[in-house]
Amino acid sequence: MGIGILGIIGILPWALQGARDTEMYTTATMLAEMYMEQIMSDSDWLNLEVNYNDSYPTRRDIPGYSAYKANLKVVIRPGTSNLLKEITVTIFWYMHGHENSITIVNMRKRN
């Protein structure tokens, strides 16, 4: 019985770290989706690439989420006569001493 309990105790830190890693990935995904929705619903079509055009490696602070940073990019797709814009949202965070990121890309057509 004691050996079994020691085995469980030995696995516990690993399991807790795995849960923390999953939470960080989930939060990053939620933040990326939040920014994408914000940009997709912005009614100022003509200024999207001005309002959401971070140069690389710019990283915006995310209010309430100090462990995460965002990079937002909106560009006009070539050959679309300014009718189609590509939106890229990247969320960055550090975990285990390494920078991690998640990127989502979407297209928005002028209404």
Query: Can you list the domains of the chain with their CATH numbers?
Result: 2-109 (3.30.1300)
Asked whether the whole model's pTM tops 0.85, one would answer no
Q: What's residue 91's pLDDT? A: 98
**With a cut of 70, which residues of the chain have pLDDT below it?**
6-12, 14-16
Q: What's residue 72's pLDDT? A: 97
pLDDT tens, 40-70? 999 998 888 888 989 888 999 999 999 999 9
Q: What's residue 79's pLDDT? A: 87
Q: What are the DSSP calls for 34-79, one per residue? A: HHHHHHHT-S-GGGHHHHT-PPTT--EE-TT-TTEEEEEEEEEPTT
